[in-house]
Copies of this chain bind each other. A is one copy, B any other.
Amino acid sequence: MRSLEEKIIAEGKILPGDILKVGSFLNQQMDVTFIMEMGREIARLYRDCGVTKILTVESSGIAVAFAAAAAMGVPMVFAKKHASANMSGGAYSAPAESYTHGKTYHIVVSEEYLLPTDAVLLVDDFLAVGNALRGLLALCRQADARVVGAAVAIEKWYQQGGDALRSEGLRIESLAKIKSLSTKDGISFC
């Protein structure tokens, strides 16, 4: 998605540790009109795939997942990083290490919102080493739900998580795929 690449170049900042900050439009401040456009692109990529539900993990994945769900006309479910008092009944749980936060969460989703009859599209803002997607895949496996594929806004391709998952048979669509990123040389796309 050329417009996303242009936005990353124009507004993205590279922080120490090669962390890409896109807080001005995707992570903390959200350019809602633009994210709705990203949602329509995800819907286009997965049209005719019979998606019944979109699954993401809180917090920064929620907006992109919401926009994709709005464009596809299906419900969206987000896994929580902690069990909560407003959950009841059984839940699926899987570990997911956060690259940005440097710790492992046990992501949780209520059993009642992920069904064996579901055809699930996984959505997230970033794909780096692939831990979040692996966690979401584990939740779907526990629920016996079928995973149609994954869509992410920004894939850090050089961290290889995406290609590892693709080689295991998962379809992944990235709206922008970063080939390399460094404070010295900036950002290049695949």
Binding site for B on A (CB under 8 A): 13, 15, 17, 19-21, 23-25, 27-33, 35-36, 58-59, 62-63, 66-67, 69-70, 73-78, 80, 84-88, 100-102, 109-110, 112-113
Complex-state Cα separation, A29 to B55, whole angstroms: 9
Taking each of A27, A32, A76, A100, which has the highest tally of chain B beta carbons within 10 Å of its own beta carbon?
A: A32
Complex-state Cα separation, A33 to B54, whole angstroms: 13
Q: Is the interface of A mostly helix, strand, loop or mixed?
A: mixed
> Chain B residues with Cβ under 8 A from A80's Cβ?
28, 59
> Chain B residues with Cβ under 8 A from A77's Cβ?
28-30
> Chain B residues with Cβ under 8 A from A17's Cβ?
85
Q: Are A29 and B88 in contact (CB under 8 A)?
A: no
Complex-state Cα separation, A148 to B63, whole angstroms: 23
Complex-state Cα separation, A77 to B60, whole angstroms: 11
Closest to A63 in B: B66
> Chain B residues with Cβ under 8 A from A31's Cβ?
75
> Chain B residues with Cβ under 8 A from A70's Cβ?
32-33, 36
Besides A19-B85, A29-B75, 6 new A-B residue pairs in contact (Cβ under 8 A), listed by A number: A21-B88, A23-B113, A36-B70, A58-B58, A63-B66, A84-B100
